[in-house]
Amino acid sequence: IMATKRRSEWEERPAKRAGGGGRRVDAPCVLKILAPEVLASAIIGKGGAVVKEIRESTGAKLAFTDHGEVYPGTDCRVLTASAASEPALIEVAAQVSQKLAEVVEAGRDQDANGLPTLKTVLPRAAVSGMIGRGGAAIKQLREATGCKISIAEPTTGGPDADQVITIVGPKRGIEQVLAEVVRVVHGAHAEAWFEGWASNPNTVFGQSRPPREDRRVGWGAEAAGGEYYQETSHRREPPASDRAAWRGGGAVVGGSNPNAVANLMSVASSLPSFVLDDTRGFALSCIVPNRLVGGLIGRGGSGTKEIQANTGTKIGIREIPGDPDNRSLNITGPLADACAAYMLMMKRYLEAEASEASAPAR
């Protein structure tokens, strides 16, 4: 059952691309901010009035991830702001800082010392510009702004790996730090990986996850209710050909190795709830040949879209810098769902491989 939420114009719903990811961002200046719900609400404003004003006054585009679609390890939605120039995006940063200050003044969001706290996400390649040689640049920035600035380890390898920067300090100081973030990120916009990084919020399903009793390993019974993943509020039934092998509970059929399937189901059913319920989500990645990507994603991305809708995961296929023959397949989501999506993608991979092998030689 597909249930599409009606959304207001101000939400600027991300447009889905083949292979997963968020709305396409092709502007040279990008700023990603991690916004707890209280800050997101302040930036959006009643009826979207505030975010509309920010867009009109700066000429920038602003888009939030959906409710419950949060950055791994946080309860924050991702705000992606993009613009054609640094000054426009710096003005966005100033207005976001103002909203953060108002939230803190109201006592709704602050660190232990009562200071505003903001997290922003940068690509790994841009972080070196923030730090400078021997840490000189970030030391100077801390002294000039009066802010505490901490940089998390990159999430993966590669120049486009996310690194989260946490800024704690006065409103004006946060504005200055964000202006420097805008500058160093803009410096990387000509890189081949930049658009992919800018367009992908790298989020996982978080707060709106259905209760434990409403989830099943495989397909099983349909979820009883609640928003599950973006446009779907219930899982869809898979194609009839896939149901028998994936039903949770009962006899397991399908496949030529029943022991392997039984082992898989046994492990899944024995996992404690804290593993299956971990809200941070999990990520699975592998390398796939570029020539098989079309078969993997299907016409117009239909294959990956169907698996995403059925499993509540996010699936992305991204270029690998310096490797034109292969791409990186990335799946993020709750553990059981990510594993299910991986197996379904491997089914598509083997089908694409077999189709290629049987095609007439050219």
Which residues of the chain, if any, have pLDDT below 70?
Answer: 1-23, 108-114, 205-259, 279-280, 361-362
- How deeply is 313 buried, as exposed, middle or buried, from its count of CB atoms within 10 A (0-12, 13-18, 19+)? buried
pTM of the full structure? 0.55
Q: Find, among 337, 93, 114, the residue nearest to 210 by Cα.
A: 337
**How far apart are the C-alpha atoms of 63 and 49, rounded to whole Å?**
14
DSSP 232: B
* Among 76, 297, 43, CA closest to 204: 76
Residue 165: predicted pLDDT: 95
Predicted pLDDT of residue 105: 85
Q: What is the pLDDT of residue 164?
A: 93
| Structural contact between residues 92 and 81, judged by C-beta atoms closer than 8 angstroms | yes
Encode burial over 211-229: b for 16+ CB neighbours within 10 A, e otherwise.
Answer: eeebbbbbbeeebeeebbb
Which pair of tokens denotes residue 212? 């434990």
Start-to-end CA distance of the chain, whole Å, equals 43
User: Tokens in use for 173?
Assistant: 């100081």
Place of tokens 């978080």: 206
- Contact (CB, 8 A) for 188 and 194: yes
Q: Residue 217 and residue 249: Cα distance in Å, rounded?
A: 8
Q: What pLDDT, in 10s, does the model give residues 285-322?
A: 899 999 999 989 998 888 898 898 888 888 999 888 88
Number of H helices, E strands in the chain: 13, 11
Give the pLDDT confidence score for residue 72 in this predicted structure. Answer: 87
CA distance 232 to 312: 8
> Cα–Cα distance between 340 and 245 in angstroms, integer?
12
Tokens 């390649």 correspond to 125
Burial class (CB in 10 A: 0-12, 13-18, 19+), 323: exposed
Which alpha helices (DSSP H) does the chain contain, by range?
A: 37-44, 49-58, 86-105, 124-131, 136-145, 171-186, 194-199, 240-246, 258-270, 273-276, 293-297, 302-311, 335-358
If residue 318 lies in a helix (H) or strand (E), which one and from where to where? strand 314-320
Would you state the structure tokens that stand for residue 230, as one six-digit string?
Answer: 């973006």
What are the two backbone dihedrals, phi and then psi, of residue 46, each rounded to the nearest 5 degrees?
-65, 125
How many residues can be counted in the chain? Answer: 362
Torsion of CA 106, 109, 110, 114, to 10 degrees: 20
Tens digit of each residue's pLDDT (9 = 90 or more) over 49-108:
999 999 999 999 999 998 888 898 888 999 999 999 999 999 999 999 999 999 988 875
